[in-house]
Structure 1
Amino acid sequence: MEANSFPIEVKLRRAYLFVVDICSVNETRAIPLNKARSSPADKEHCRVLFELANRKTKGWGTGEKKYIYDGSACLYHLHDFKDSEFILQPADLPEDIRYRHRNEIRIRVFQPMSNHELPLDIPIDSMTVDQLSEYKKFISLAISQDSIDRGVFSVINYGHLFVASNEQAEPIRNCVELRRGFKKSIRIVQRDEKFVPSIEIDVTTSAFYRPIFLSEAQVEFRTAIDANNMLLGVTVEPEYNRERRLIFTNFSEKNPEQYNFVLKDGTSMSVLDYFAEKKKLYVHPTLKLACVKPIQAGVFPSELLRIVPHQRVRCERLDSRLTEQVHARNAVLPKVRYDLINEIVQHLNLTADNPVLKAFQITVAPHLFRIDDPLPITLPKVMFGGNRLSHPKPDGNFNSPSAKYYHPGKITNWAVLYGDVGDARDVNTVKEFVKRLLPAAVRRGMELPAPQFVEYCDLTQWMPHGFKAVANLNGLQMLMVIDPKAGMAPTHAMLKLAEPKYKIVVQHFDYAKVKDVVMRNQGMVLDNMLNKINMKIGGCNYAPVFSGDALPLSLGAGTFVVGYTAAAGFATEKKAKAKAGEDGTPIITEPLAVGFAGNYVRNPNLIVGSYLYQLTPDNQHELVDPTLLENQFHHMLDILGKQRPKDAKPPRIVILRDGLSENAFSKVVDHELPAIRKACLRIDPKYAPQLAVLVTTKDTTTRVFNVINSPRIDNPQPGTVIETGIVRDVSEFVMIPHKAIKGTAQPMKATVIHNEIDDINMHVLEQFIHTLSYSHQLTCAPTSLPEPVYQASILAKRALYILPAFREFFKDKVPRLEDGTYDVERLNRILSPRNSLLELVRYTA
């Protein structure tokens, strides 16, 4: 078995950190060129400028040709030297970039206020947090410097690079092209009882905007609205003045003939005439104009604005087809990924011939790391109704040995609402579906009486008007909506919003699937529907059996397990009295969503949960507000005491925290763990349970390949656990609990950051975590993460998903403070499932 981990040795004793400042200087001001969040194209430009200055100053007076520079403000050098400054004249620049500069360029290199000298020879476990962070950044930049200098790769950030060659880009549609690249991360691992750095490299494909003129881009879209939504915020440059940077906002309804400028002398002139007379440029009279920021820049002919290269497209901008194309390029088989990683390594030139690595005395192993002894783990048995056990196959999949659920759900009052599905024949199909659903539910042990039927013709208007159709159905516990529009996104968002807004369980089915059950007798589709319904009405489809090493932490023996994670949204809102953006436009940041899940209901094997919103200070998006965490943890313990009085004060609590970087581990122990202890004390001043805290994450660059037992390269078997070679120390392990549905399996990394539970070692925690991966309920297979954090992540994403729908359909009811920011306390009362039936069932099924 091999992992994409390449050991590193650094023999250099110290390097020197400098700050780089590059400005275009005119008579009145200095314009920064290397801003903190420069685009990849701007970083490449700054690299060219810095290299010119480095040559002309002979390595800033040191004679050293090699350096490590990130294209922004960070420079690592082999020698110490005094603060320096050099002026580049436009005539000094190569012709291919000279067009961007009319003024001289000032490049300053100076020592930072602290951490100027970077010690590289001290033991890694003796480094401070800041020293270790700088050490890892230094190595990461050093490894990619030569390939960037040779023009092989360009940079998104120092952990993510992509091929620079336009010939290797794959144009698709909607002004999008795909570029292959790689992610890298420096990890500190323990090998031969020593802490050493290692680089992990994983191949990835990303979507970028094609560097074409806006006039060309617009014709690729069906409507101007689609084009505006996709291109909003893209950086463009005028073809006749490529030193200038503008931000596209939208296409104007007017063309150059129709739109008039008001000149400084008060006269007006059409855009067409202005460019012909002032710029000596002919523009097409009927092509749409492009509106840009800053606002004073006004409008430009779209045929003169070119999209700046190497701008990545955010995932939420891609439609479903484009998203599928990106996923398809990334879901490659293990053998393909293995070969691509080796190809990336060759392009990086991790050999003795690499001039940067040679100068900085860095050696990198050129081959994937061999794992000698991965640990097999026992696959847990799974209990179904009637105490019938299922034994998982080697790939982790298992079958139901019983027709009945482990814990069948029951309900007394529910309704079926169907939209405009067509003629009477289609209405009869809905009723026939329900007729088949009811006896199938009884066979599973569920109590599902006949429903009430409600017809509402226009489901697109259901949120503002349609709920009145069911509001008078007193005691309604579940509403099943049959949607004729095959999962239409606005309908889906409305229905998901309805659940927390009206505190009612909603089951959304496409009419096409309903028709499959009736017309094609598709039993598997019906089974999947029943699996969802049973969970939504409080049932539990099956339960993994905690045995062997996992037995001491069995959920049925009183262990309380909680998973939580924080998720940040992408969107921002523009409102008055808020923080101003670069152009003075007020911006309000979306709240953070925190998902919580645990086994606090009557059935100890059922993982359910809730979510809350919080406002978070800048750069703290990983952390949960301690007061919010304390209140929610107390709330879950309070429900646990009411649902299962004998487990009211669980002696052992296992906390699974997801979505954290290594730098935040200590903050969880210092800030979040004390909040959990306070919650326990509020239950009883003498209540002090034993706590274990594990950070679990799947968002890593780690990949593991099975290259031992077959000439092929496969994914590891589900249940594979790795404790050595690619982990930091004995408190960390890598696990592959699942079988990848497509492509290469993404391992889970788990780190024990706190453990005070008696007689619980790593093997117990490993088996416990693996057993929790068999708790998903909707599929008979393990998941890639243990269910508590898997559900917490789903809940956090659900919170972010419904917020835009809430703003759209209830504009006047969005709670705001006087400064325009969200009133999250009121928002939580309106949109959180807390204090409702929803937090007692798996309503997200």
Structure 2
Amino acid sequence: MEELDFQLVKRPGIGDEGKRIRVRANFFEVTRMQREDFSHYDVTTIPKVPQRLNRKVFDRFVEQNRYGVLRDARPVFDGRANMFAHKPLRFESDSFDVELEEEGTPVSRTRPPQSFRIRIKKTRDIVVRDLFQFLNARGDMTNNCLMAITGMDIIISHKISAKFPTVRRSFYNPQVKKSLGGGLEAYQGYYQSARPTMSGRMMINVDLSATAFYESGPLIDIVVKLLKNIRTLNELRRGLSTNDRHKVEDFIRGLKIKDNHRTGTGRKFKVEGLTPTPASHTTFDRGDGSEIDVKTYFQNAYNIRLSYPSLPCVVVRGNVYLPMEVCDIVPEQRYMRKLNKEQTDVMMNFTRQNPSNRANKIQDGLKLLNYRENEHLQQFGMSISDEMAVVNARILPTPTIEYRQSTRQFRVEPKNGVWNLRDKTLAMGATLGSWSVLAFLDEDTLPKPVIEKFLVEFTNTCHNTGMNIITKKPPIMHANPQGNIEQSLKLAWINAGNAAKSKPQLILCILPSKGQELYAEIKRVSDTIIGVPTQCIQREYLKDPKVQYCANVCLKINVKLGGMNSSLLSKHIKFVDDEPTILIGADVSHPAPGDKESPSYAALCGSIDSKASRYAATIRVQTRRYEIIVDLGNMVKELLKVFYQSCGHKPRRIIFYRDGVSEGQFNHVLKNELNAIRSACQALGADYKPTITFIVVQKRHHTRFFPMEKQNSDFKSGNCLPGTVVEEGITHPFEFDFYLLSHPGLLGTSRPTHYHVLYDKNGFDANSLQTLSYNLCYLYVRCTRAVSLVPPVYYAHLVTNRAKLHSYKESNGEITSKVVKEDLKKVMYFA
């Protein structure tokens, strides 16, 4: 196979398509930078301590040595190992002893200060000239550049990180918080990051940020908040059930607590677990061979009569037991696990800010950061503007959507990214003849006549929208949602086939609520065992069936049966329409934080027609948290074969949109995955060499845009209009990237999608790739709105989420993942 050039693509020029406007971006220019080289040191603290304490130890070291070996330098530190100084430091010894008094310890109390040793070793001088060469497109991203940018990140965060809890590039203010319920609360904070941009400038990206922390305070108060079946402290007197004890133990294991039964600040401990017995029955050896229970010990030793002797004890340091009521949770401990749905909703409402509010809060954050009076910035010769950057942008023209030509309004020009199905017929309506309805409710709760009434409205809407509904009255069954779901679905499948005398096409499932467990089991069985599409709807929508709701369900069912909902005018998708072209979206989904068992899932979705409207999917289970798609070659082969079966020829061009890759992984992912794509093509024919474009799609970033004129904003949400593209001012100094805001904002401030072209043999210029990517966002099959990122990637997200539902835990604890049935892989079963 020919040697591939892995040099990332250079920007092919600036686009000029669309209406030119200006927008504000949450970037602040570094107006002055140190031109002299600065020095990088490696710091080791003995004993090893958490990051927050490590910063305190370091600050104490600076305080002790500032006018000595540091020669008035104010070095900065990341809390782990990296220290930067604005000039070389000369140490006679590389080892320093530091003593740190515990905060808040009363003078009357004699507790010796903690002793630490800091070792400092110089690693290199950072040649700043390399960074200026890179910023002005006269040099590559060298290690010097990377370290200079890392240094800037640490310079801007050093001072603020000493005051507030910090997570990577974000710091959080405990004074601005919101209860999430269940013993958790959200802190609002700010993200800041140094970014190299065009025109030879460094910028600081500043944005709002929020994350979850454990509530601090008495442990027993938190237990009441955690357990839904206990409403008051008084109810704790009866003790905890086994299930509740396990729930509390799981919640507090690893947490830092301090005791509150002695005078002073209390000793700090790390929770190892809970005792299986209550304090009144938990005993320990007094040291003389006799045993005493914890309740009696606290009465004798501290004259404390426990109010909750029926509660278990907190286990700390192996065999040290503390009654729950003498424990307080230490403040500012971050919650690392996944929030439940209710907590996620509260978090979303807490963080959601409309554009003008968000812009104002970012400016408030700038006051808190106070770059102007930061002595560390001054020492490194840095000045940062307090005005948001104003950058050039364009609003790309809206594409025209096509429906079936027999329709009265078969062409539609969306307004502000939105349109509707009124007077329109699906481009290619599927035929539905063999199907059944399965209600996971008893007949008293949901009588048959109510379902039949809904089916009349539903089938009429599907018919009017362009589907061919042969069977208007499918068989109806009721089933127990706690019963054998697999058996119920199989019976519904048999009933559908028997009634229509043909192979079943669909099971319409009516769910009692939004419960995830029932939905997950339905999808596991239908996708991997029976091999028939299912459409789930909730019972609440049956009472008064709305045409709009029925039409949205129809959109999903049509593509699940192989139909096509809409397409774009050929001129709006010219690149795909001109020559056989496959669009592939790729995503790798990793387990939630705290999940130490589940694997990662890789998914590809590939277009299978010249309209880029219909897609096929393929999934693989792979090693947890591994980012490279391991079996990419075979997955691409599968999609190329389906494309060939559908179109009658191989694609001559491949556009590969890859989600979830961070900048530090660009070269690694490109080299591995581009080789795999080329190998897949060669396996289908030695002379088969389609031209490939490889684009990384990023949504996890902190770039936001704020419109400057009312006529260029969405009057409902205040966001920039769909089609707003930014490729100047805040983008890469010379590589081919752009930000595209393609969807109409609903709530909060819209997040643009960042597209970064790593490899391109299709000769795209800025206009053609930006316009194609934007126009594709109008082809998402599940709604009549433009979406925030190109559909193939959106579908790959859906597929990885669905793949998680196909997995289940065996009795031995191992996780097994089932494979999707072959028939379903060629249709959009995941829609």
Using structure 2 for the length normalisation, give the TM-score: 0.86
Aligned position for 1:497? 524
1:33 to 49, 60, 67: 49
Deviates more, 1:201-210 or 1:219-228: 219-228
Matches within 5 A, 1:771-782: 771-782=775-786
1:135 corresponds to 2:148: yes
Given that residues 736 and 746 in structure 1 are in contact (C-alpha distance below 8 angstroms), is that contact kept between their aligned partners in structure 2?
yes
The one-letter code of the counterpart of 1:222 is K
1:105 to 112, 115, 128: 115
Aligned position for 2:278? 255
Unmatched 5+ residue regions in structure 2?
1-22, 230-239, 498-502
**Pairwise CA distance, 1:181:** 0.5
The structure-2 alpha-carbon separation of the partners of 1:97 and 1:19, relative to structure 1 and needing over 3 Å to count, comes to farther
The one-letter code of the counterpart of 1:494 is E
Aligned position for 2:515? 488
Aligned position for 2:636? 633
Aligned position for 1:53? 61
1:600 corresponds to 2:608: yes
Deviates more, 1:202-211 or 1:399-408: 399-408
Given that residues 546 and 768 in structure 1 are in contact (C-alpha distance below 8 angstroms), is that contact kept between their aligned partners in structure 2?
no
Aligned position for 1:28? none
Aligned position for 2:695? 694
**Pairwise CA distance, 1:622:** 2.8
1:87 to 93, 97, 103: 97
Aligned position for 2:13? none
Aligned position for 1:577? none
Aligned position for 1:523? 547
Counterpart Cα distance in 1 of 2:712 and 2:642: 54
The structure-2 alpha-carbon separation of the partners of 1:471 and 1:391, relative to structure 1 and needing over 3 Å to count, comes to closer
Residues matched between the structures, number: 767
The one-letter code of the counterpart of 1:611 is I
The structure-2 alpha-carbon separation of the partners of 1:171 and 1:498, relative to structure 1 and needing over 3 Å to count, comes to same
**Pairwise CA distance, 1:710:** 6.6
Counterpart Cα distance in 1 of 2:400 and 2:712: 32
**Pairwise CA distance, 1:842:** 1.9
Aligned position for 1:477? 505
Given that residues 279 and 295 in structure 2 are in contact (C-alpha distance below 8 angstroms), is that contact kept between their aligned partners in structure 1?
yes
Counterpart Cα distance in 1 of 2:447 and 2:639: 44
**Pairwise CA distance, 1:546:** 4.4
Aligned position for 1:510? 538
The structure-2 alpha-carbon separation of the partners of 1:188 and 1:270, relative to structure 1 and needing over 3 Å to count, comes to same
SS at match of 1:32: coil
**Pairwise CA distance, 1:689:** 0.4
Counterpart Cα distance in 2 of 1:173 and 1:454: 41
2:622 to 589, 605, 614: 614
Counterpart Cα distance in 2 of 1:384 and 1:263: 83
Given that residues 53 and 107 in structure 1 are in contact (C-alpha distance below 8 angstroms), is that contact kept between their aligned partners in structure 2?
no
Given that residues 682 and 689 in structure 2 are in contact (C-alpha distance below 8 angstroms), is that contact kept between their aligned partners in structure 1?
yes
The structure-2 alpha-carbon separation of the partners of 1:271 and 1:448, relative to structure 1 and needing over 3 Å to count, comes to farther
2:255 to 223, 228, 235: 235
Aligned position for 1:147? 160
Counterpart Cα distance in 2 of 1:839 and 1:87: 64
Aligned position for 2:6? none
Aligned position for 2:462? 441
The one-letter code of the counterpart of 2:49 is L
The structure-2 alpha-carbon separation of the partners of 1:397 and 1:603, relative to structure 1 and needing over 3 Å to count, comes to closer
Aligned position for 1:313? 335
1:797 to 801, 807, 828: 801
Given that residues 493 and 507 in structure 2 are in contact (C-alpha distance below 8 angstroms), is that contact kept between their aligned partners in structure 1?
no
Counterpart Cα distance in 2 of 1:97 and 1:693: 62
What's the CA shift string for 1:250-296, capped at 9, x where partnerless? x66642112223566654321213344567765434352255577x3
1:174 corresponds to 2:182: yes
Using structure 1 for the length normalisation, give the TM-score: 0.84
Counterpart Cα distance in 2 of 1:101 and 1:197: 48
Deviates more, 1:775-784 or 1:297-306: 297-306
The structure-2 alpha-carbon separation of the partners of 1:546 and 1:738, relative to structure 1 and needing over 3 Å to count, comes to farther
**Pairwise CA distance, 1:452:** 4.6
The structure-2 alpha-carbon separation of the partners of 1:684 and 1:411, relative to structure 1 and needing over 3 Å to count, comes to farther
The structure-2 alpha-carbon separation of the partners of 1:445 and 1:222, relative to structure 1 and needing over 3 Å to count, comes to same
The structure-2 alpha-carbon separation of the partners of 1:290 and 1:456, relative to structure 1 and needing over 3 Å to count, comes to farther
Aligned position for 1:75? 83
Counterpart Cα distance in 1 of 2:142 and 2:590: 25
Counterpart Cα distance in 2 of 1:764 and 1:242: 65
The one-letter code of the counterpart of 1:610 is T
Counterpart Cα distance in 1 of 2:327 and 2:541: 47
Aligned position for 2:237? none
The one-letter code of the counterpart of 2:639 is M
Counterpart Cα distance in 2 of 1:452 and 1:300: 63
Q: Which has the higher contact order (CA 8 A, sep 6+)?
A: 2
Matches within 5 A, 1:145-294: 145-149=158-162, 151=163, 153-157=164-168, 159-163=169-173, 166-171=174-179, 173-191=181-199, 194=200, 196-220=201-225, 221-223=227-229, 228=248, 231-239=251-259, 244-247=268-271, 249=273, 254-261=277-284, 267-277=290-300, 283-286=306-309, 288-292=311-315
Counterpart Cα distance in 2 of 1:59 and 1:472: 85
1:755 to 747, 752, 760: 760
SS at match of 1:274: helix
Given that residues 412 and 449 in structure 1 are in contact (C-alpha distance below 8 angstroms), is that contact kept between their aligned partners in structure 2?
yes
SS at match of 1:21: strand
Aligned position for 2:9? none
1:682 corresponds to 2:668: no
Deviates more, 1:605-614 or 1:688-697: 605-614
SS at match of 2:394: coil
Aligned position for 1:768? 772
The one-letter code of the counterpart of 2:673 is E
2:401 to 369, 376, 382: 382
**Pairwise CA distance, 1:708:** 3.2
Counterpart Cα distance in 2 of 1:232 and 1:463: 35
The one-letter code of the counterpart of 1:260 is T
Given that residues 454 and 469 in structure 1 are in contact (C-alpha distance below 8 angstroms), is that contact kept between their aligned partners in structure 2?
no
The one-letter code of the counterpart of 2:296 is D
Given that residues 15 and 118 in structure 1 are in contact (C-alpha distance below 8 angstroms), is that contact kept between their aligned partners in structure 2?
yes
SS at match of 1:385: coil
Identity %: 18
2:383 to 344, 363, 368: 363
Kindly report the root-mean-square deviation, in angstroms, between the aligned alpha carbons of the 2 structures.
3.0
Counterpart Cα distance in 2 of 1:593 and 1:110: 42
**Pairwise CA distance, 1:563:** 0.6
Counterpart Cα distance in 2 of 1:637 and 1:140: 44
Counterpart Cα distance in 2 of 1:97 and 1:558: 77
Given that residues 390 and 400 in structure 1 are in contact (C-alpha distance below 8 angstroms), is that contact kept between their aligned partners in structure 2?
no
The structure-2 alpha-carbon separation of the partners of 1:711 and 1:368, relative to structure 1 and needing over 3 Å to count, comes to same
What's the CA shift string for 1:631-664, capped at 9, x where partnerless? 100111111111221xx32111101011111111
Counterpart Cα distance in 2 of 1:424 and 1:70: 60
Aligned position for 2:233? none
The structure-2 alpha-carbon separation of the partners of 1:669 and 1:769, relative to structure 1 and needing over 3 Å to count, comes to same
Counterpart Cα distance in 2 of 1:205 and 1:73: 26
The structure-2 alpha-carbon separation of the partners of 1:613 and 1:88, relative to structure 1 and needing over 3 Å to count, comes to same
The structure-2 alpha-carbon separation of the partners of 1:160 and 1:792, relative to structure 1 and needing over 3 Å to count, comes to same
Counterpart Cα distance in 2 of 1:76 and 1:380: 51
Counterpart Cα distance in 2 of 1:553 and 1:356: 53
Matches within 5 A, 1:306-345: 306-314=328-336, 316-318=338-340, 320-345=341-366
What's the CA shift string for 1:354-412, capped at 9, x where partnerless? 211001111212111011x3122121111112265443344111233644211112234
The one-letter code of the counterpart of 1:680 is C
**Pairwise CA distance, 1:470:** 3.6
